[in-house]
Structure 1
């Protein structure tokens, strides 16, 4: 069964709760999460005749902003929360 696609109306509803002056970024690639700056919104018709809206990144070299902050990847369920390694006794200089 195909998941329901997000519509422009769904996106507007989600964005309505956000700070209107905040920059818009796109999180991409859950296996190597990166943040990208959005530049354009393009509406067209796909091969099935359905109207589709695309959010596109820019072409400038600084469009890819770097790694997605870990807390965002966790909120998107792309990564598990990081757990500190278990503590263990330190070795002494004598090797014991």
Structure 2
């Protein structure tokens, strides 16, 4: 899947903790500046991924654990006419977070 540049940030009511079986993308693998944990998910029935940098996971980055970043192949905000504070459901395997 090719990602749309940028992510959709979603504010949660409680922290999201990464599962133990995350996919890892090391910065050296893609020529980036940060290593990232990746968790497959679905949003609006579309395949997507939760991305979390190592710094954000240790709460020394830009986002606390109550924010998840969603990467997808489309610009979700435009396609679904999303506005700040809209309620969004993200499905992660059998768990759901609103």
State which structure, 1 or 2, has the greater radius of gyration over its C-alpha atoms: 1
Instruction: Indicate the structure with greater strand content.
Output: 2
In which range does the TM-score fall when normalised by the shorter chain? Answer: under 0.3
Normalised TM-score (structure 1): 0.25
Normalised TM-score (structure 2): 0.24
Specify which structure has the bigger relative contact order, considering alpha-carbon pairs within 8 angstroms and separated by 6 or more residues: 2
